Amino acid sequence: MRSDAQNSRRPRTEHWVAPLAETPLQEVDAVDTTGTPRSLWAEAGRSLVRNPVFVISALLILFVLFVAAFPQVFTSQDPGFGDLGRANQPPGPEHPFGTSRQGYDIMARTFWGARTSVIIGFFAMIGSTLIGGTIGALAGYIGGWFDEVISRVTDIFFAVPMILGAIVVATRVGEMSMWTVIVVLSIFGWTNVARIMRGAVISTKSQDYVTSSVALGAGSGTVLLKHVIPNAIAPVIVTATVNLGVFIVAEATLSFLGVGLPTSAVSWGGDISDARDALRTQPSMLFYPSVALAITVLSFIMLGDAVRDALDPKARKR
């Protein structure tokens, strides 16, 4: 009796329950769960169209691609025609960017040079991505001694700078054509893609859906092509996008050093090399191809950064 009396005198905490209408459960219950969930690529696309960096870079790249495909829309001059009688002319109605020391129209060579740079960059990116993606996927999925051998071979190629390797090959081959430059850049530019693909495949192959596919009797090739690679390809796409700009710079560097495309080819690197001696007297020879090269490379780098943020769920949450 005494204990009951003491308990009755103790202060008790009052419990208050909010009405259901004032709780966030109403919002949770209002969520439509009948719709089809968006995939990673659908969420990435939705994020990209809202990213101003992607929109600006995509518009610039579309403009560069249009210039590369249809340079004759912007100029009617022949980029390979040089007339010493019109050499070193200032900008005017006939030649808006002026002419070079050899009498070339600078505007024509700037616009036509986009075609050479974009073609080399695009096909070098495709070649290096196929080589590096295949090697990295096989090394990451097979593992064991095969992974060790591939890793050591990758380290050997990774230790050779791409430009230096291309210079060595150019000295042995002699005058390189556009396709020779593409092959050389692909051979020495696949290592970064291989490493990224290998790490992504190693992370993906341990997922539950891959284990389930193996348990259901799917072959190694089927698992690799249908389940592992599609879910590991996202970081490779980002790297390939950035590499396109890197390969454009690499081609311009080789042409600038005189070991890339022949002097008869129209390229930004060759024009920048020719403009070195005229920098003080006629800076426009260097300005226009340099600006075109810088805008193109910057656009692809910005596009790669935007795609990376869109394909990274952690980046989207931030």
pLDDT > 90: percent of the chain: 20
Environment class of 228 (CB within 10 Å of its CB; exposed 0-12, middle 13-18, buried 19+): buried
pLDDT digits over 140-195, tens only?
988 889 989 998 998 888 888 888 888 888 888 777 888 888 999 999 989 999 99
What is residue 143's predicted lDDT score, i.e. its pLDDT?
Answer: 85
Tell me the two tokens of residue 294. Answer: 């810088």
pLDDT reading at 243 higher than 70: yes
Within-domain flag for 205: no
pLDDT > 70: percent of the chain: 85
| Structural domain containing residue 237 | 58-71+105-138+161-194+232-317
Within-domain flag for 10: no
Q: Pick the residue with more confidence: 17 or 296?
A: 296
Within-domain flag for 113: yes
The structural domain count of the chain equals 1
**β-strand partners of 99:** 105
Within-domain flag for 181: yes
**CA atoms of 309 and 242, how far apart (whole Å):** 13
What is residue 198's predicted lDDT score, i.e. its pLDDT?
Answer: 92
Within-domain flag for 154: no
Tell me the two tokens of residue 199. Answer: 């790490």
Q: Pick the residue with more confidence: 248 or 103?
A: 248
What is residue 20's predicted lDDT score, i.e. its pLDDT?
Answer: 54
Within-domain flag for 43: no
105, 110, 112, 117 alpha-carbon torsion, rounded to 10°: 150
Q: Pick the residue with more confidence: 47 or 243?
A: 243
What is residue 126's predicted lDDT score, i.e. its pLDDT?
Answer: 94
Q: Pick the residue with more confidence: 315 or 128?
A: 128
* pLDDT bucket at 91, cuts 50 / 70 / 90: confident
* pLDDT bucket at 60, cuts 50 / 70 / 90: very high
* pLDDT bucket at 269, cuts 50 / 70 / 90: confident
Q: Pick the residue with more confidence: 149 or 215?
A: 149
Cβ neighbour number for residue 14 with a 10 Å cutoff: 5
Q: Would you say 190 and 131 are in contact if contact means Cβ atoms under 8 Å apart?
A: yes
Q: Which of 39-53, 79-93, 219-233 has the highest mean pLDDT?
A: 219-233
Within-domain flag for 39: no
Within-domain flag for 210: no
Q: Would you say 239 and 196 are in contact if contact means Cβ atoms under 8 Å apart?
A: yes
What is residue 194's predicted lDDT score, i.e. its pLDDT?
Answer: 92
